[in-house]
Structures are given as C-alpha cells and as structure tokens.
Amino acid sequence: MRTQVVIIGAGPAGLLLSHLLRLAGVASVVLESRSREHCEQRIRAGVLEQGTVDTLTQAGLGSRMQREGLVHHGIELLFERTRHRIDLTALTGGRAITVYGQHEVVRDMIAAAIDHQQPLYFDVSAVSLHDLTTDKPWVQFTHEGIAQRIDCEFIAGCDGFHGISRDSIPAAALQTFERIYPYAWLGILAHAAPTCDELVYAHHERGFALFSMRSPELTRLYLQCRPDEDLAQWPDQRVWAELHARFDNADGWLPAIGEIAQKGVTPMRSFVCEPMQYGRLFLAGDAAHIVPPTGAKGMNLAVADVRVLSKALAAHYRDGRDDLLAAYSSTCLARVWRAEHFSYFMTNMLHPSFDDTPFVNRLKLSELRYVARSDAAARMLAENYVGLPFDD
C-alpha cells in the first residue's frame, strides 16, 4: 500500500486531519486500534470553542452539530452558596461556545469519511513506525490477521496520550513537561433534563463539582475525587447526595436526579512534549499534550493542531513550500502553552485541595471573588474559555 500521509488514530485529531487533507487534495490512510463502535461511544469532552465549530462547519462536517449542538453565551461560577454568571459573549465581542459531545463529533466525522470513501481501518494492531528521519517513512500494522506495510511521505501521530507515536521518538530528541494533580474527577451521565441552560462550575469546601449537559434529556456531572477513587464506593445515591451538597446555594437551584447511564474516573494531568515533530512524524492532540479538563480545552487543542498541520502539508504538496511544516511545532506550542496555563489556573482556582494549607484555600476564594466582580478578570477568563482566535 502507498499513500501521502498515514494518520495513526481516529479520535478528533486524526479524523479531522483526514478530512482537511482530503479537501486540500492530499491522500491519507487512517489506522485505528479500537472498533468503530468503541470510538463512537467513548464519552469524553463536550465543549467546543467557536473556532472549533467554525473549522468543522467550513470542512462540511457541521450539519448535525448546527441542529443539535447547544450554543451557550455564558457560564456560572458557584461559590459561597451564590451563583455568579460570566457573560462570555458580552466579554468577548460576540463569541460563544457550543456544547456537543466529542463522541457525536467523532460519529459525524466517521460517517463523512465513509461517504467520501476515505481509507479508514478500525481494529488494527501491532502498529509500528519506521524510517522517520528519511523522506520515505513507512508504517507496519496488522489488520484481520494479516501484516501489512504502507509506504508514505509523512506520518501524523494522532493516537492520544497512550499511543505509540510519541514513544517512537528517541527519548533524547524530546523534552517533556508534566504535572499530576492530587485529585481526579468522577463523571456521570444521567438521564435527566438539564435544570440550568449553562454550565455551572462549583467550588465548595467538600470539593469541586461541575454541571454540564449533552442534550435536552442528558445531564453530565462531575465531582472532584481522589485519583485512586474506587467506583464501588460510589453507589448512585451517594453520588447524588454529594452533588447536591456541593451545589447547595441560596436560590435553591439543583441538578435533577435521573438514572445514571455511565460512571467513570478521569485523571487530572498537565503534559507537554517539545518539539511536536521528529523527522517526518508530526504529533497532534493528546499524543503531544494533555490538559486537565477544567478549562474544556483538550479536544479544542487537537482541532487547532490539525488545522495548522493540514495547512502546512497542503503548502508542501501544492506550492513545494516547507516553511509551514518547519514552523509546525512552534506554531502549535504557542497555543498549547496558553491553554496549559488557562487549564492550570481554572483547575487550581476551582479545586479546594485537601493537601494545601487553609491559607492557599483562602487565596482560591479570593481569586473567585475577583473574577466574579472585576470586568478585567472576567474578560481574561472569558477570552481564554471561548478560545483565542487562530493566527491565520
């Protein structure tokens, strides 16, 4: 087999890259280790920045998102039993976010790839990358029991944090930066109509809680928990009691209780690898960087990376220019580090830490009061939350 770009991983980064390359007339093959059903049902992020929505729409991938996505113009911060609204749209000159599940974005992109007859292999195994520092790299994999080889010109490593792409780079060629937080999120998806039109981020002395949603019938909720939390200790009743204790507020608003469809623990990590390139291998999305979910940036960064990569590859094939490919890593890292800082800021401010001194927890409350009262502080939060404009 032969193609121009082999893409490892069919998450948001890999799938979107394959579509953007098709639109630029560049051939690609996507290799995914899991099944189509697994990729379409994996519940993860839910907040799309304006720029992500625009990118998907311009690529012709946005019609169901336009119909079913929920456009939000603000978020709420709940602390000291009071809700404070941050008016995202007023503070950012008209920008908004769209709540539409990552698995829905993935479903739409897989359906479109099949419609356009883009080569996309699920359930592959034993993927390995070769000759990365030559201009003829190749990829080995096994599909339906048969070992195969694809010769190509570039490889995009879009296989997430635990994929093989980053590990295919010699350790001496990479610098990594990491922070592990002393807490995690217990997330649930509940069959209950959302009782608030916007997301509610709650700081409570018992711990952080987040109210979000997936549709007019599905509420998504998270609770700060221990990183090694045992889900067996969290029967549904305990989850609801804890959520209601943390969302307790003066006007009596609470999420509605419903049957819990999914329960899971998400670790909290910040991670960046530099550079995001090794020879003809380009890393994108979670393969290169991780943010804690508090800033809702994970999937949006994956989209931003592959926007840059698709334009750079298009310039290579269309105009014979390699300056954009050479700048890929530094272009992406500028946005990545901004998102890293914002996610770290939101995470620290909103999570009381049981390891911190009472002094540090007082500082967090002071910061929340400042963001709720000061136009300048709220604007800083809003501008980062809706996503900074793309440089192009």
Residues labelled as active-site residues:
72, 201, 293, 297, 385
Q: Give the nearest distance from C-beta 209 to ligand PHB in angstroms.
A: 12
Q: What's the sign of the alpha-carbon dihedral 156, 30, 5, 55?
A: negative
Q: Interface with ligand RFL by CB under 6 A: which residues?
A: 8-14, 31-34, 39, 44-45, 102, 124, 127, 158-161, 163-164, 266, 285-286, 293, 296, 298-299, 302
What is the rounded distance in angstroms from the CA atom of residue 151 to the CA atom of residue 130? 10
Residue 43 Cβ, how far from ligand PHB at the closest point, in Å? 8
Q: Hey, what amino acid is at 234?
A: W
Smallest distance from ligand RFL to CB 252, Å: 27
Residue 281 CB, nearest approach to ligand RFL (Å): 13
Q: Toward ligand RFL, which CB reaches closer, 154 or 250?
A: 154
Structure tokens at 22: 């098709």
Please state, in angstroms and rounded to a whole number, the distance separating the CA atoms of residues 338 and 332: 10
Which residues contribute to the site for ligand PHB (CB under 6 A)?
45-47, 199, 212, 220, 293-294, 296
Partner whose footprint covers residue 212, from ligand PHB, ligand RFL, none (CB < 5 to 8 Å by kind): ligand PHB
**C-beta closer to ligand PHB: residue 45 or 77:** 45
- What crossing angle do the helices spanning 298-319 and 323-350 adopt, rounded to 10°? 170
Q: Which partner in ligand PHB, ligand RFL, none is near 194 (CB below 5 to 8 A by kind)?
A: none
Please state the separation of Cα 234 from the chain's center in Å: 26
Q: Classify residue 243 as exposed, middle or buried by CB count within 10 Å of its CB (0-12, 13-18, 19+).
A: buried
Q: Which does 32 bind (CB under 5 to 8 A by kind): ligand RFL, ligand PHB, none?
A: ligand RFL
**Nearer residue to ligand RFL within complex by CB, 13 or 276:** 13
Which partner, ligand PHB, ligand RFL, none, binds residue 292 by CB below 5 to 8 Å per kind? none
Report the C-alpha gap between 239 and 385 in whole angstroms. 28
Q: Binding partner of residue 299 among ligand RFL, ligand PHB, none, CB under 5 to 8 Å per kind?
A: ligand RFL
Is 86 or 189 the residue whose CB approaches ligand RFL more closely? 189
CB 99 within 8 A of CB 196: no
Whole-number minimum distance, CB 45 to ligand PHB, in Å? 6
Sheet holding 146-151, edge to edge: 125-130, 138-143, 146-151
- Least distance CB 46 / ligand RFL (angstroms): 6
Q: Name which of ligand PHB, ligand RFL, none residue 207 binds, using a CB cut-off of 5 to 8 Å depending on partner kind.
A: none
Question: Do residues 189 and 262 lie in contact, with contact meaning Cβ atoms separated by under 8 Å?
Answer: yes
Report the distance separating Cα 212 and Cα 206, nearest Å: 19
The residue at minimum Cβ distance from ligand PHB is 46
DSSP 112-137: HHHHTT--EE-S-EEEEEE-TTSSS-
